[in-house]
Amino acid sequence: MRFDIITLFPELFAPLMTSGITRRAYESGAVQVQFWNPRDHAQGTYRRVDDRPFGGGPGMVMLAEPLLACLKAIRASRGDAPPDQAPVVMFSPTGTVLNHAAVATWSGSAGAVLLCGRYEGVDQRFIDRYVDHHISLGDFVLSGGEIAAMALLDAVARLQPGVLNDEGSHQFDSFNPALDGLLDCPHYTRPEVWEGEAVPEALLSGHHAHIAQWRREQSLRWSARLRPELIAQARSQGLLSPQDEAFLKTEPAESHKPVA
């Protein structure tokens, strides 16, 4: 799997590539990452990569020509050609919000070319001709696409075999099919009592069935209170058992208070 990243600031990715568990994916080559700076493919003494927008207004717009030259260099390096060319992904407010299902799809792919825009945006003519997918992290705006690209790389890397210490640990993350797309349950560790609060008795029982039931109920409780749409989605897909439904009926109708 190979990701080629078009960015004006490749240095921003250094901590991601060299820190934490996911660095194993990059060091082992399970996820190959190469960086391409459009400025290296720009013309003229100053190697400009942006210019003022037609029609006036604030900010600058990334030029199409340096991006195209950069993309051509990537295509030559990868040696791919239609119909097997790696798709070009742009991080943009117009994109589909990144979720677990999308991450799982990308984690099983051959990779992509990730375009990290800057300034007011990218010349629309380049987008129309060369961008295949648009991805968003949510309804807010970042200074550039680098953070979104890092989020995708990290999420994809941790799903690669051999990256996590426990191969099965990611299968029980929030939103995973093993949890029917619900939120994960809360977790506890030593000491058994901390600041007067004890670990739930079920987790100390040693009874695997009781522990599994407690974790399922907590997953249902958290999802119902904090992300009720996940409960609705699981219900529509027939993933909730009669026991699940009976437990949910005992839960008070509470809503999560948004952060002020």
- Tens of pLDDT along the chain (260 residues) come to 999 999 999 999 999 999 998 899 999 999 999 999 999 999 989 999 999 999 999 999 999 999 999 999 999 999 988 888 999 999 999 999 999 999 999 999 999 999 999 999 999 999 999 999 999 999 999 999 999 999 999 999 999 998 987 666 787 889 999 999 999 999 999 999 999 999 999 999 999 999 999 999 999 999 999 999 999 999 999 999 999 999 999 988 654 444 43
Q: Quickly tell me which residue has 């670990």 as its tokens.
A: 199
Per-residue pLDDT at 83: 87
Active site amino acids: 93, 120, 158, 173
CA gap 68, 145 in Å, rounded:
18
Q: Please report the domains of the chain, with CATH numbers, ordered by start residue.
A: 2-157 (3.40.1280.10), 173-250 (1.10.1270.20)
Question: CB 156: neighbour CB atoms within 10 A?
Answer: 26
